[in-house]
A and B are shown apart, each in its own frame.
Chain A
Amino acid sequence: VQLVQSGAEVKKPGASVKVSCKASGYTFTAYYLHWVRQAPGQGLEWLGWFNPNSGGTKYGQKFQGRVTMTKDTSITTAHMELSRLTSDDTAVYYCARSLAATGHFDYWGQGTLVTVPS
């Protein structure tokens, strides 16, 4: 099982960023994909989950209206787009999979650093 994420990004305030997570080694549609972020020196924060089988999503209350999770099934890749960026969005963004929406995250991507200079 591997989750390989796209490279680091630097974005201006107000812009959007799209982070990708390519899954391999398992049936892509059988597992939920979650997005979790970690600001510098801080803890983990959940953004939401995406169901690659149904296309369904569940976003954290803090991010509703600003985050969009999608997939590209042909290349077993999930995407997370965050809009209206501010310096508070500077963080490492991780994707992680779980068998159920409320199940544990058994594999994680390597992380993608998104920097939004103030």
Chain B
Amino acid sequence: QSVLTQPPSASGTPGQRVTISCSGSSSNIESYYVNWYQQLPGTAPKLLIYRNNQRPSGVPDRFSGSRSGTSASLAIRGLRSEDEADYYCAAWDDSLSGWVFGGGTKLTVL
């Protein structure tokens, strides 16, 4: 049981916009930045969004993040086949005094 809650799966067709939610609490998402990681099959996670809505260099602007209260979301517009991956949200948790992750969302491009 993950501290942050994500839907286990999401899907969309090429060109569509999809969103992935991440629900937490006052001790994590509401108080600390949310980061998102993309994990392509068989590879290490890669930083996708940091500090709620910032993109590292090289990440397309099709990816965007937002946070409101105890929830955050990742949006992908103009979906492409190469976006098929697992996506994880993460935040520091004050109560646990450690990093917590969502359970991950498997994105399928139909």
Contacts and interface: CB of A to CB of B under 8 A. Distances in A.
B32 A106 contact: no
A110 interface: yes
B60 interface: no
A60 B96 CA distance: 8
Contact of B44 (A48, A58, A110): A110
B99 A43 contact: no
Interface residues of B, number: 24
A71 interface: no
Contacts, number: 56
B96 A111 contact: no
A48 B98 contact: yes
Interface residues of A, number: 21
A43 B44 contact: no
B45 A34 contact: no
Contacts of A111: 44
A108 B35 CA distance: 14
Contacts of B51: 104
Contacts of B56: 106
A50 interface: no
B24 interface: no
30 contacts: A34-B99, A36-B45, A36-B99, A43-B2, A43-B88, A43-B101, A43-B103, A44-B37, A44-B45, A44-B88, A44-B101, A46-B99, A46-B100, A60-B96, A60-B99, A61-B97, A61-B98, A94-B44, A102-B33, A104-B47, A104-B90, A105-B37, A105-B90, A106-B50, A106-B56, A107-B47, A108-B44, A108-B46, A109-B44, A110-B44
Interface of A: 34, 36, 43-46, 48, 58, 60-61, 94, 96, 102, 104-111
Interface of B: 2, 32-33, 35, 37, 44-47, 50-51, 56, 88, 90, 92, 96-104
